[in-house]
Amino acid sequence: MQSDSPLVTVSEGYRAAMRHLAGAVSVFTTGTAPARTGLTASSLTSFAVDPPTLLICINKASSVRDGLLAGAPFVVNVLADGQREVAERFAGMKGLHGEERFADGRWGQLVTGAPVLEDALASFDCELEEVIERHSHMIVLGRVVATRLSEQARPLLYWARGFRKLEL
């Protein structure tokens, strides 16, 4: 069967096809003030329920790498649809780095001491279980030791290179 689509490299085709996957937007945070750091990610998944474990993929060039390799605890904050600015800040779109990214928002702690965004849709406080380095990324497994849920109704999504709201 002949396709009318232009021929592209496997890498280009893979990237284009992956843009069609919508994902919840999360802010991954670690460290303690004044040396906190974090990033925006959309590659979060539940790994196991017993024990509660999550999996997140992070670029090896990110600012959180050294802390993770040293075994630092972390929090994955799932953002609500009104938190686009937080996502942009932690994605580096505002030109901020490290502790500067925490200037806005209400930040607290749960069990591990890692930074928790108080009004996130959901937060998973994790102890590091394992880091697996492959290609350009790290596969991070975190044992969930505490969670916090918000009364927010809808998540912030990332799809087709942009932040979106879930419309019901």
**CATH number of the domain residue 35 falls in:** 2.30.110.10
Give 10-43 pLDDT, tens digit per residue: 888 888 888 888 889 999 999 988 889 999 998 8
Return d(Cα 154, Cα 131) in angstroms, integer: 30
Domain membership of residue 5 (yes or no) is no
Domain membership of residue 49 (yes or no) is yes
pTM (predicted TM-score): 0.89
Domain membership of residue 166 (yes or no) is no
Return d(Cα 68, Cα 64) in angstroms, integer: 6
Domain membership of residue 82 (yes or no) is yes
Domain membership of residue 23 (yes or no) is yes
Q: Are 54 and 39 in contact (CB under 8 A)?
A: no
Domain membership of residue 165 (yes or no) is no
Q: How many domains are there within the chain?
A: 1
Domain membership of residue 167 (yes or no) is no
Question: What range defines the domain where residue 111 resides?
Answer: 10-160
The pLDDT value given to residue 11: 87
Give 43-96 pLDDT, tens digit per residue: 899 999 999 999 999 999 998 999 888 999 999 999 999 999 999 999 998 888
Return d(Cα 40, Cα 161) in angstroms, integer: 14
Domain membership of residue 80 (yes or no) is yes
Give 103-141 pLDDT, tens digit per residue: 988 999 999 999 999 999 999 999 999 999 999 999 999
Residue 152: Cβ-neighbour burial (10 angstroms; 0-12, 13-18, 19+):
middle
